[in-house]
């Protein structure tokens, strides 16, 4: 069993969960990237995040912080 909280979770799953939890506005406030603030969509966000490692890391870190608190 992996101790990695992201194990088995796709980037799409992570983004969908964060949007469901925070909404686009708060997500855009927490992670200031245009794909969350300017006409956001899941597909445009995934396209950007797959090409931008630093932004993807911020999204993954927010997911872990939000959903794995004990």
Domain layout of the chain by residue ranges: 11-67
- pLDDT of residue 42 exceeding 60, the answer is yes
How far is 47 from 51, CA to CA, in rounded Å? Answer: 7
Measured between alpha carbons, how far is 65 from 59 in angstroms, rounded to an integer?
Answer: 10
pTM check: above 0.85: yes
CA 13 to chain centre: 9
The candidate with the shortest Cα–Cα distance to 46, out of 18, 67, 21, 22, is 18
CATH 1.10.720.30 fits 11-67, yes or no: yes
Those residues whose C-beta lies under 8 Å from the C-beta of residue 64, and which sit 6 or more positions away, are 5, 6
What is the tens place of the pLDDT at every residue in 8-33? 999 999 999 999 999 999 999 999 99
Question: Within a 10 A sphere around the Cβ of 68, how many other Cβ atoms?
Answer: 9
């Amino acid at each position: 069993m992996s101790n990695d909280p992201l194990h088995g979770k796709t980037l799409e799953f992570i983004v969908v969960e964060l949007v469901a939890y925070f909404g686009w506005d708060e997500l855009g406030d927490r992670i200031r990237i245009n794909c969350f603030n300017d006409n956001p969509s899941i597909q445009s966000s995934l396209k950007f995040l797959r090409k931008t490692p630093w932004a993807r890391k911020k999204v993954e870190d927010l997911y872990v912080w939000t959903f794995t608190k004990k």
